[in-house]
Amino acid sequence: MIRVAILSGAAEPGGAERSLLTFLKASQGHTIEALVLLPRLGSLGTLLTAMNVSWQVIPMPAALLRQSRQNRGALLWPTIQLIVQAPAYLYHLALAIRKLNPDVLYTNGIKPHIIGALLRPLLRVPTIWHLRDNWGGALVGRLADLGPHRIIANSRATAAFLQKDMKHPHKVVVVHNAVDVAEFSPEGDTVPLETAGPKIGLVAALARLKGHALLLQAAERILSEFPSATFYFIGGSIYDTMAEVGYEDELRQMIAAKSLAEQVVLTGFQPQMAPWYRAMDVVVNASIRPESFGRTLLEAMACGKAVVGPKAGGIPEFVQPGKTGLLYEMGNAGALAEAVLSLLREPGWRQNLGAAGREAAVRRFAPEPHAQAISHILLEGSLGVLTRGIF
């Protein structure tokens, strides 16, 4: 049994956190003993408790919670606050991890990756990054070379994005995300929706890069042919970063400006996603930056739904065009609209794609092999195994 301290950068379940939960559900108590360190109280703690996974809060300073790669400009006062608050936080976090006496530190999220790298000299515990973002650049490459002992990437695209800036790219190993095919399946409860026309779902946190505005552009073309269609933006504001402050209000203003208030529904955060997938006719990913993986499309596929995603990032690694879903040129609202329309016009084809997607999810992305692969890497880390000179 490997004792693992898991550092999470979020307290609400976004895609990275749902992927972590999938791993823990398949491995906790079998191959690992986990304790998750959260930055604040949130619904992620409730979900961990339901899975009998231990967790505790080490409060992250507000200035650090608000930091994001998408923050617009380097604001002086938040930067000063961060410089003042960070040392005490790192000190208390290091003490908490030492008390846990883990075999390995596993970081989930960019902030935890940076923090884990900074703590490495203090902890002397093997550190494993689980990278679920397209993250690169000279400084990041240097940090990846010096900080973690091993890096798990959730797709080949994620790995390649980082490796191009690294001197030791062999530290990176690819383990695709998994999906709980029992929870996400065609059978089960469905959210009762009153609308009779086609239902198109975008499952994503309320963040600018998730492309809600792009789908609004596509919606106008789709509604010209299917005027009874309804678009569901399924997800809420889960990020604490300054970059997303006020985004929900901006989105509602965009919807009103396009006179789409009757055709677009913002559901808010939903703790149970499978019933929402089952209620949709088509599930789309509209991200305007390449997704490192695109987990929501895999969950929808597991529920037997036809999916549409951008031809970028990690999505083409599991969505096969015309076989398990459709791809379009990222950022092109017209191409997104035509892909959705092609599925709405042909219900039989849409159902066939959904069935093929379900089969692919079960065959390639079940949780058990995924958990075994990650647990093996964690075990190597805990033992300090020399793999190509990494440790």
Domains and their CATH numbers in the chain: 2-178+366-383 (3.40.50.2000), 199-364 (3.40.50.2000)
Confidence of residue 22 (pLDDT cuts 50, 70, 90): very high
Q: Which whole-number Å values give the CA distances from 391 to 32, 102, 147, 386, in the listed order? A: 21, 17, 11, 5
Average pLDDT, the chain: 91
pLDDT digits (tens, 9 = 90+) for 242-282: 456 789 999 999 999 999 999 999 999 898 999 999 999 99
In DSSP terms, 265 is beta-bridged to 232
pLDDT digits (tens, 9 = 90+) for 111-144: 999 999 989 888 989 999 999 999 999 999 999 9
pLDDT digits (tens, 9 = 90+) for 309-352: 999 999 999 999 999 999 999 999 999 999 999 999 999 999 99
> Which pair of structure tokens corresponds to residue 72?
């617009």
DSSP category for residue 60: P
In contact, 306 and 325? CB cutoff 8 Å: yes
pLDDT at 324: 97
pTM: 0.89
Task: Say how far apart CA 292 and CA 351 lie, in whole Å.
Answer: 27
In DSSP terms, 49 is beta-bridged to none
In contact, 388 and 170? CB cutoff 8 Å: yes
Task: Say how far apart CA 236 and CA 252 lie, in whole Å.
Answer: 13
Confidence of residue 240 (pLDDT cuts 50, 70, 90): low
Q: For residue 57, is pLDDT > 70? A: yes
Give the rounded distance of the alpha carbon of 286 from its chain centre: 14
**More confidently predicted of 284 and 384:** 284
Confidence of residue 188 (pLDDT cuts 50, 70, 90): very high
Q: For residue 172, is pLDDT > 60? A: yes
pLDDT at 391: 33
pLDDT at 390: 36
Q: For residue 65, is pLDDT > 90? A: no
How many Å is the maximal CA-CA distance in the chain? 62
> Which pair of structure tokens corresponds to residue 376?
């093996």
pLDDT digits (tens, 9 = 90+) for 290-313: 999 999 999 999 999 999 999 999
Q: Which whole-number Å values give the CA distances from 78 to 73, 83, 241, 271, 390, in the listed order? A: 11, 9, 12, 32, 37
Confidence of residue 67 (pLDDT cuts 50, 70, 90): low
Confidence of residue 382 (pLDDT cuts 50, 70, 90): confident
